[in-house]
Homo-oligomer: A and B are copies of this chain.
Amino acid sequence: MAKKIDLHPSRRVSDLLVAKAKEHGTLSAADESTIRGIKVRTRKIRHGEDIVCQGERPSAAVFVLSGMLARYHTLPDGDRQYLSFHIKGDLPDIQSLFLRVMDHSLCALNDAEIALLPHAELCQLFLTQPGIGFAFWSLTLMDAAMFREAITSNGARNHVARVAHLFCQQYFRARQASLLERGACDLPLNQRQLGQALGMSHISVNRAIAKIRNQGLADFRGGKLVIANWQRLMRTAGFDPTYLKLAKLSDISHRRFRSRQ
């Protein structure tokens, strides 16, 4: 319950946020300084703790600084369906800006640190600098693309491919975020939780992992994912990272400038 509040948000947060926005477009100097002007609070979250719950109406958006967060639905029988996993640099709930209530919850899978970006400030930001708004909009769209991929994975892939696909996605995203450590990345889940993400029993998860391991594709244990053969893993997963690649927005700003003249 120790929700420590750090009152002097380090420059680190702004740097990260600017970097994130820059991934999706070129920021003007004004854009950048506006982003740096956002007043953020940081907060430490303990392993397993909920950050926002289904049904709530938060007034700030979460920005992940470290650790891994997950979104999940709570089912009538109390069981969970995990929907997505989030790493440093992600904004897992900007949609809360525009949706009335949370349709799902957000929790920390390990000890994590987040920054809170007040909705009011974000709104203001988007109104005055629509370019920034576009960058954030893009983020929510990639989110949707990941959900689509999950639908397909859970609906149409066999167990091994399903697990392999999740591995690929997490590994790929961790690499994009420079979070790899000697070919490995964190994935602080147990097999049961993996099953709750992939719509399969933990036994099936175990057997799928065993196959992946035995075929020398990857290893996963104790919350660490180690890739052994990336190419073959991608192939058995049917993983195509296109859906994770955002438009550079150079294109968009192009269009923008053109249409302004």
Rounded to whole Å, the gap between the CB of A152 and the closest CB of chain B is 4
Copies, count = 2
Which one, A13-21, A34-42, A72-80, A217-225, is touching chain B?
A: A72-80
Rounded to whole Å, the gap between the CB of A54 and the closest CB of chain B is 9
A83-B148 CB under 8 A given contacts A134-B126, A156-B199, A243-B103: yes
Which one, A1-9, A45-53, A248-256, is touching chain B?
A: A248-256
List, in ascending order, chain B residues with CB within 8 A of A124's CB.
256, 259-260
Whole-angstrom distance between the alpha carbons of A252 and B103 in the complex?
18
A127 interface neighbour in B24, B140, B242, B256, Cβ under 8 Å: B256
Interface residues of A, Cβ cutoff 8 Å to B: 24, 71, 73, 75-76, 79, 81, 83, 95, 97-101, 103-104, 119-121, 123-124, 126-127, 130, 133-134, 137-138, 140-145, 147-152, 154-156, 197-199, 238, 242-243, 245-249, 251-252, 255-256, 258-260
